[in-house]
């Protein structure tokens, strides 16, 4: 059971993304307040979100990042599905406090309520998509800006979460204040990046998308 749990956690960690930006500057206090207000206002308006994504998993012992791609679907408040389509068919659905995994027809279910760490990772993933992650009880947060983007870096405070997640970065488009990339650095210093493209806000998503 422990090996299975560790495997599921590794899959979750692979849902987080990275990209670097040059010429970062720290935000001023007034800029932080304005930025948080804008992001929170936009997040409250998001009812649905769909996006193409490309994921790059970086591991130090590999000479090349592992690349996968697919489609992401979100429906407020907490329905979330990652559908991998290339190079394999694989999906992870967060629904009704459970996680449904479909590995090319082989299905498994994880009850989030039975695991504190699964619950926190679920909240983290949903929050990273919607942009609602400014919880200073859970994270120590710092804010930066570039010419085209805003970046937040979050250090987990919870000891159980820190075993798996060393640092999280959310990158926001400065124009529409939505998340375009997330970086997660694992305790091993490996990281994963998912690049979101062709985002569609508040478009219709068929109920069948979230069937398990």
Q: What pLDDT does residue 23 have? A: 78
Q: What pLDDT does residue 18 have? A: 38
List the end-to-end C-alpha distance of the chain, in Å, as a whole number: 22
Rounded-to-integer distance, Cα 183 and Cα 132, Å: 15
Per DSSP (E only), the strands in the chain are: 25-26, 48-58, 66-75, 79-86, 90-95, 98-103, 106-111, 139-145, 149-156, 165-173, 179-186, 191-201
Q: What pLDDT does residue 203 have? A: 95
Rounded-to-integer distance, Cα 19 and Cα 195, Å: 8
Rounded-to-integer distance, Cα 144 and Cα 26, Å: 4
What is the maximal distance between C-alpha atoms in the chain?
A: 51
Per-residue pLDDT of the chain (212 residues; tens, 9 = 90+): 555 555 565 555 555 433 444 478 999 999 999 999 999 888 888 899 999 999 889 998 988 999 999 999 999 888 999 999 999 899 999 898 888 999 988 999 988 776 666 677 667 777 777 777 788 888 899 999 998 899 999 998 988 888 888 998 888 998 888 889 888 888 888 988 888 999 999 999 999 999 98
Q: What pLDDT does residue 204 have? A: 95
Rounded-to-integer distance, Cα 103 and Cα 80, Å: 17
**What global pTM score does this model have?**
0.80
Q: Are 134 and 36 in contact (CB under 8 A)?
A: yes
Q: What pLDDT does residue 19 have? A: 40
Q: What pLDDT does residue 142 have? A: 95
The strand pairing partners of 193, in sequence order, are 56, 183
Q: What pLDDT does residue 209 have? A: 95
């Amino acid at each position: 059971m422990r090996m299975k749990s560790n495997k599921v956690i590794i899959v979750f960690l692979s849902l987080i993304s990275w990209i670097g930006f040059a010429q970062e500057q720290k935000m001023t206090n007034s800029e932080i307040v304005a930025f948080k207000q804008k992001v929170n206002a936009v997040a409250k308006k998001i009812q649905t979100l769909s996006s193409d994504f490309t994921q790059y998993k970086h591991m130090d012992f590999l000479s090349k990042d592992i690349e996968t791609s697919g489609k992401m679907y979100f429906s407020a408040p907490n329905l979330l599905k990652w559908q991998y389509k290339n190079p394999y068919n694989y999906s992870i659905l967060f629904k009704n406090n459970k996680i449904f995994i479909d590995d090319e027809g082989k299905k498994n279910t994880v009850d989030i309520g039975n695991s504190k760490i699964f619950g926190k990772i679920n909240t983290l993933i949903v929050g990273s998509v919607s942009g609602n992650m400014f919880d200073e009880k859970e994270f120590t947060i710092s804010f930066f800006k570039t010419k085209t983007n805003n970046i937040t870096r979050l250090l987990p405070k919870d000891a159980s979460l820190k075993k798996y997640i060393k640092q999280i970065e959310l990158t926001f488009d400065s124009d529409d204040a939505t998340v375009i990339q997330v970086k997660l650095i694992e305790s091993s210093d490996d990281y994963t990046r998912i690049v979101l493209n062709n985002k569609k806000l508040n478009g219709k998503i068929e109920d069948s998308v979230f069937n398990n």
